[in-house]
A = this chain, B = another copy of it.
Amino acid sequence: MHSDIIKYCSNFVELTTQDKEILNQAFQPTFVQRKKFLLKEGEKCGFIAFIASGVIRHFHIKDGEEITCDISVGPCFITDFASFNKNIPSKFSFQALKDTEAFCISYDDLNQLYNQSTALEQLGRIMAENVAERSTEMSLALISQKPEERVQHLLASRPELFQLVSQRHLANLIGITPESFSRIRSRISKKP
């Protein structure tokens, strides 16, 4: 629902009635059917999307292969900041893995919105900080842990993903092949 944006954002900042009004008007509802795309690599990512419900897979194509680099489960915000801010083609595609209810706002509308309310500007900052935090943590995991540790960490920290997405995508996410992912899993379940 449209009002989910309000509910979600209220977790981070205090919104006035007017702020809520602005949010409601600025975000355009966009339904994305399972397997369809919210963004295709090479296009400009001219929006920030609030994913009210559903699941979005972020992937990049390398040597003809899709590399899944993130899985976003609603409610959350997604965008490609590099493309969004610099107005350049995106390196990523956003594909729905489940029917997804999204609400999008364009660059210009967003900046206008930022100028109208400090709470919203603050919200934008907090969202960016959260992305920064998450991907810093992800980089650290990738350079400091071995594949087997990363599998264990994934099992422990995001078990819900195993119902939502295929193992080949999960394997990409932690930088290994689907075959290794399968082998490591079976190795883990035998040993412990």
Residues on B with C-beta less than 8 A from A115 are 118
A174 within 8 A of B: yes
Give a binary string over A53-95; 1 marks a CB under 8 Å from any B CB, 0 the rest.
0000000101000010100000000001110010000010000
What is the total number of residues of chain A having a CB less than 8 Å from a CB of chain B? Answer: 35
Quote the shortest CB–CB distance from A35 to chain B (angstroms): 22
Quote the shortest CB–CB distance from A93 to chain B (angstroms): 13
Give A128's nearest chain B residue, CB to CB.
B128
Give A135's nearest chain B residue, CB to CB.
B135
Residues on B with C-beta less than 8 A from A174 are 143
Establish whether residues B137 and A82, one from each chain, have CB atoms under 8 Å apart when the complex forms: yes
A10 within 8 A of B: no
Establish whether residues A81 and B129, one from each chain, have CB atoms under 8 Å apart when the complex forms: yes
Residues on B with C-beta less than 8 A from A184 are none
Sample (15) of A-B pairs whose CB atoms are under 8 Å apart: A67-B143, A69-B139, A80-B136, A82-B136, A118-B118, A121-B122, A121-B125, A124-B125, A125-B128, A132-B132, A135-B136, A138-B139, A139-B142, A143-B172, A143-B174
